[in-house]
Chains A and B, each alone.
Chain A
Amino acid sequence: MRLALLLAALALLGPFMSKYGLKLASEALILGLYAMAFNLLFRQAGLLSFGQAAFFGLGAYAMALLTQKAGWPFLATLPASLLVSALGALIIGFFSIRLTRIYFTMLTLAFAQLLYAIAHKWYAFTGGDNGITDLRPPGLLGESLPFYYLVLLAFALAVIFLAALEGSPFGYALRALRDNRARAEAVGVDGFRHLLLAFVISGGLSGLAGFLQGALQRSVFPDYLFWTRSAEAILSTILGGSGFFLGPAVGASAFLLLRVVVQAKTEYWPFFLGVLLLLMVLFFPRGLTGLALRLIKWPTEVRRGASGG
């Protein structure tokens, strides 16, 4: 219900935003989608993937290559992007999920870097570090407002899907695996299959984000596959609070907003981000959302204390 209100508010806000605002808002929603895909693995399944950029990039490149080289219409490449990134997740997940914790993280990182190296090297196919440019969606979707609505629609559908997933038996199974894998498997939950499916879903949604980002930025580069892109999903999630459903999305917009504001004023954005992340990790592990909740609850807690509770 709250979600529907939020989405409606975002939709209504559209026509009132400036062109620049629409671009920022679109980017925030895309980053939010990407972060929520990451959080599916992190919060529900307890897996820290440092290789989400692989699927983000696969989705973006699928769109770019099909529109540029094969002349496909823009929207037709959407299912292809989803398919390619989900397939990539299937393959990478198959090898990675065998391992746990740090090894899983390192492996996902390694695979993403491998894809990056391939995209960089395979000049003839991917354009190498020159990338693929001029990816403006034709017609109405090339304009800021209609594209914003497309992004909002994709975000909405993804979020609704994730919410449904969370409440479904699948979601419960994932959380059971996260909390105590041996016990969950003892009651018949196939750990590998469930985690792999979660990985594939997460990969597909990351690919969707990549698809949209490529269209928004009008170009796709090997940088889409670089590990710092994976870090963006993680940072947004931590910033917003991984424990809350919409936390990653909140974190994504905060992250983007901060970056835009800070970069306009100083060239030391990495330092700023590093300090922020440090503070988050040390003092506010529940993220901005957690912080906001704590602040809001604080007066009521004090009151309770004073009355001797």
Chain B
Amino acid sequence: MDLGFYLLQFLTGLAYASTLFLLSVGLSLIFGAMGIVNFAHGSFYMLGAYLFYAFTRGQVEGFWGGLLSVLAAGFVIGALVERLLIRPIYARPEEYQILLTYALLLILEDAVRFFFGAAYRSFPMPEAFSSPLFVLGSPFPSYYLFLIGLAALFALLLWGFLYRTRLGVWIRAATQDREMLEALGVNVPLLYTAIFGLGIALAALGGAALLPLQAATPGMAVDAVISAFIVVVIGGLGSVWGALLGAGLIGLLQAFGILLLPEWAMVFPFGLMALVLLLRPWGLLGRPPAVRT
């Protein structure tokens, strides 16, 4: 019986880790490829959840279509934001990019409140996931398995994309030497627009995919971006595997930490973050930044 329980707890840890990964992978990607810390990341995540609800009107039949629509909408919105707002300030010091994303956070929060109101929005569990899986006798929601699978799929796809495709090579090159890449004839501005769109699309999809097991609330953006920051600070800004590692560590720490110290559940992510910051400030899988003058 004990083994069954620990296995179950492990799965819940993975489940939580998956939700965190889906939330933060876009943040890490955008930073890794463009060097922008997107404070509005949580806001796009929130937007994804609300848009999912709006597209499907809360009807469970629209589940798959809704997810795809949100992915597409997220990409378009991200691309527009990059093209219209971020591109003009690339020449400026990067502090201004942070401030711009912070402005977006403020604007989106009120925009969502204005259009969607104050009530919480939920989405019913799709039929395909309504019966639980049984882990050595205990029920485990199959939707969590879907999320774990989705997270794993994203991680693999992103890795494949970044390391096995031409586009991915360009993206990684852009982080190291943008001018050289442009000199080689790559349309870097367009590339940046696409990456930003992708990162936002991932954030939005994260928000949508989590809706059947969570709720869309008007204040979820700030909470989400802090959680995402903790994950990427631990894992390493810019590393997709780092986001996975960070999410995994937090998830498992919570799952097993509360068996030993239930009083301190709230502190675990911060404690882990503090430890990483003291020992490896650029994150577990991050690269120590090159000294630039």
Chain A residues with CB under 8 Å of chain B are 42, 48, 95-96, 98-103, 105-107, 109-111, 113-114, 117, 120-121, 180-183, 227, 231, 234, 238, 268, 270-271, 273-275, 277-278, 280-282, 285
A108 to chain B, nearest CB (A): 10
Contacts of A100 in B (CB 8 A): 289, 291-292
Contacts of A48 in B (CB 8 A): 95, 98
Q: Contacting B37 at CB < 8 Å: which of A99, A105, A238, A277?
A: A105
Which residue on A lies nearest to B238, using beta carbons?
A102
B71 to chain A, nearest CB (A): 26
Which residue on B lies nearest to A48, using beta carbons?
B95
Chain B residues with CB under 8 Å of chain A are 31, 35, 37, 85, 88-89, 92, 94-96, 98-100, 102-111, 113-114, 226, 229-230, 233, 237, 266-267, 270, 273-274, 277-278, 281-282, 289, 291-293
- How many angstroms from the CA of A101 to the CA of B99 in the assembled complex? 14
Contacts of B96 in A (CB 8 A): 281, 285
Contact: A103 with B289, CB < 8 Å?
Answer: yes
Contacts of A183 in B (CB 8 A): 293
Q: Contacting A99 at CB < 8 Å: which of B92, B95, B113, B289?
A: B289
B183 to chain A, nearest CB (A): 25
21 residue pairs A–B, Cβ–Cβ below 8 Å: A102-B35, A102-B94, A103-B289, A109-B229, A110-B230, A110-B277, A114-B274, A117-B266, A117-B270, A120-B266, A180-B293, A227-B226, A231-B102, A234-B99, A238-B99, A271-B107, A271-B114, A274-B105, A274-B107, A274-B108, A278-B107
Contact: A121 with B89, CB < 8 Å?
Answer: no
Contacts of B267 in A (CB 8 A): 117, 121
Max chain A CB contacts within 10 Å: which of B94, B108, B270, B278? B270
- How many angstroms from the CA of A106 to the CA of B135 in the assembled complex? 40
A99 to chain B, nearest CB (A): 6
Contact: A270 with B291, CB < 8 Å?
Answer: no
A35 to chain B, nearest CB (A): 14
Contacts of A95 in B (CB 8 A): 277-278, 281
Contacts of B107 in A (CB 8 A): 270-271, 274-275, 278
Contact: B106 with A110, CB < 8 Å?
Answer: no
A-side binding surface: helix, strand, loop or mixed? helix
B117 to chain A, nearest CB (A): 13
Known: A101-B94, A182-B293. 6 other contacts (CB 8 A): A106-B233, A117-B266, A121-B267, A227-B226, A271-B110, A281-B96
Contact: B85 with A282, CB < 8 Å?
Answer: yes
B243 to chain A, nearest CB (A): 14
Contacts of B106 in A (CB 8 A): 270-271, 273-274, 277
Contact: A277 with B99, CB < 8 Å?
Answer: yes
Contacts of B94 in A (CB 8 A): 101-102
Max chain A CB contacts within 10 Å: which of B95, B96, B277, B293? B95
Closest 10 CB pairs of A and B: A274-B106, A271-B110, A274-B107, A277-B103, A278-B103, A270-B106, A274-B103, A117-B270, A48-B95, A182-B293
Contact: A282 with B89, CB < 8 Å?
Answer: yes
- How many angstroms from the CA of A117 to the CA of B98 in the assembled complex? 24
Max chain B CB contacts within 10 Å: which of A100, A181, A183, A271? A271
Once A270-B110, A271-B107 are accepted as A-B contacts, the answer to whether A99 and B281 lie under 8 Å apart by CB is yes
Contacts of A107 in B (CB 8 A): 277, 281
Q: Contacting A98 at CB < 8 Å: which of B88, B113, B237, B281?
A: B281
Contacts of B282 in A (CB 8 A): 99, 103
Contact: A102 with B105, CB < 8 Å?
Answer: no
Contact: A274 with B281, CB < 8 Å?
Answer: no
